[in-house]
Amino acid sequence: MDNKISLFKKYKWLMMITVLSFGTYAMYGLPYMKSVFYDPMRTALGLSHEQYGHVIGLYGKIALLMYFPGGWMADKFDPRKLMLFSYVSSGALGIYLSTYPSYAGVQFTFIAWGVTTILTFWAAQVKVTRSLGDDDMQGKIFGIANGIEGISGMIISFIALTIFNMVAVEELGLRFVLIFQSSLTIIVGFITFFALRDVKFKDSDDVKYTVHDYIKVLKMPEVWLIGIAIFSYYTVFSSLSYISPYLETEFMLSAAMVGTVSILRQTGTKIIGGPTFGTLADKCGSTSKMFIVGFTLVTVCVGAFMLIPVNTTYTILAVALMLLLAFGLFGLTGIGYATISESKIPMKYTGAAVGLISLIGYVPDAFYYNIAGNWLDTHGSKGYTYIFTLSLIMAVVGLAVSIILYSRNKKSKLDRQVNSSVK
């Protein structure tokens, strides 16, 4: 009996991470349901490509504004209560969206999601995750959380796809999917609230930013280089949502098959992408070097998409390229913020650096979908060419920035070694 209790205590943090990861994907899967059900969602809500892009852009704009005040709220209030509010309110908004409200109602839902999934959740969830273990196991905790979130996403998405395919009428099937995922989010919210009742939250001074911190960080070239690199791969990452309808309309892939490969792209590649890139970065001793590898892979994949003929003969190749592209992008996502340590940004400025890098890196959420939606509505199939062209440009920009960042880090390392030998 004592051994069982000891084993439970040892792996209690793992069970808590599993609950957190499961709930996180369920909740974020609501505003990002376009990743699997882009066309069914757009059609059921009665939106054009541009209108759908607009509401997603609204979510992105609100989310950007919520990152910094969310950090203050996580320190000021009980993170468990903030997270419970986020889960329940986000789920309630999803149930409301399942009624297929007017365009104004859809806009309200996505704006509100920007508040409930970021302001009262993002920093609170990070604080809770950090509090599940000691400082010497933070890497393990966050790494496992990322992997479990991918596994959770695959399970939830395949269940949602099964529900969708069981109903003959797409509009009705999507309504059941929205109700399922929204209800799941609410239920997991209550489970999380009670499961974390014994967690002792640590003070997190690194999220209490000052004007002096921002001025210092603004003068650091590495912060801008990392931010631009993340901006680059996140822009390409945003284009993944449009590859699904591209495969359906141009390569004649069935809606069910598109949904299946989209789930593999969104969750399967996430499970292996981040851990693989992280392991290779540790072995080669440089995350910025893996940035170069990742952006090279992304550039090749996007370029290949533009070159292969639009013909059903090449459908398998197109699907393989999409999955390989997703693998590279999730790999870059997994090691994105690890470059802060390699760039030797002082620990005391880590919070401000992460905040500003996030602000730069996630700007595409605020404009990309509007532009891409307009291209598809205005130019039809040619709009995909514009999307891939922009992605290729940003991949090349990311590659160039990564080379500069790696060179600066390498030179800085050599300078430190010279100074150390002189002393």
Q: In terms of pLDDT, which residue wins out, 317 or 276?
A: 317
- For the stretch 297-327, pLDDT in tens is 999 999 998 898 888 888 889 889 999 999 9
CA distances from 313 to 39, 68, 72, 291, 310 (A): 23, 49, 54, 33, 8
What was the pLDDT predicted at 351?
A: 57
Confidence of residue 7 (pLDDT cuts 50, 70, 90): very low
CA distances from 97 to 58, 109, 112, 186 (A): 16, 7, 12, 15
Q: Which of 275, 264, 329 is nearest to 299 (CA)?
A: 329
By residue count, the chain amounts to 423
Domains annotated on the chain, with CATH: 1-197 (1.20.1250.20), 209-416 (1.20.1250.20)
What share of the chain has pLDDT > 70, as a percent?
A: 84
Tokens 């239920």 correspond to 187
**What DSSP state is assigned to residue 48?**
-
Give mean pLDDT, residues 120-146. Answer: 66
Give the Cβ contact number of residue 284 at 10 Å. Answer: 11
pTM of the model: 0.72
pLDDT averaged over every residue in the chain: 81
* DSSP states along 166-178: HSSSHHHHHHHHH
Confidence of residue 4 (pLDDT cuts 50, 70, 90): very low
Angstrom distance (rounded) from CA 373 to CA 309: 23
- For the stretch 93-118, pLDDT in tens is 999 999 999 999 999 999 999 999 98
Maximum CA extent, the chain: 75
**Alpha-carbon torsion, ordered 352, 353, 358, 363, to 10 deg:** 100
Q: Which of 141-155, 160-174, 387-401 has the highest mean predicted lDDT (pLDDT)?
A: 387-401
Residue 206 has pLDDT above 50, yes or no: no
- For the stretch 225-237, pLDDT in tens is 999 999 999 999 9
Give mean pLDDT, residues 193-204. Answer: 67
What was the pLDDT predicted at 11?
A: 62
- Tell me the Cα Rg of the chain: 22
What was the pLDDT predicted at 416?
A: 65
Angstrom distance (rounded) from CA 91 to CA 180: 10
Q: Which of 292, 280, 288, 278 is nearest to 413 (CA)?
A: 288
Which H or E element spans position 221? helix 221-250
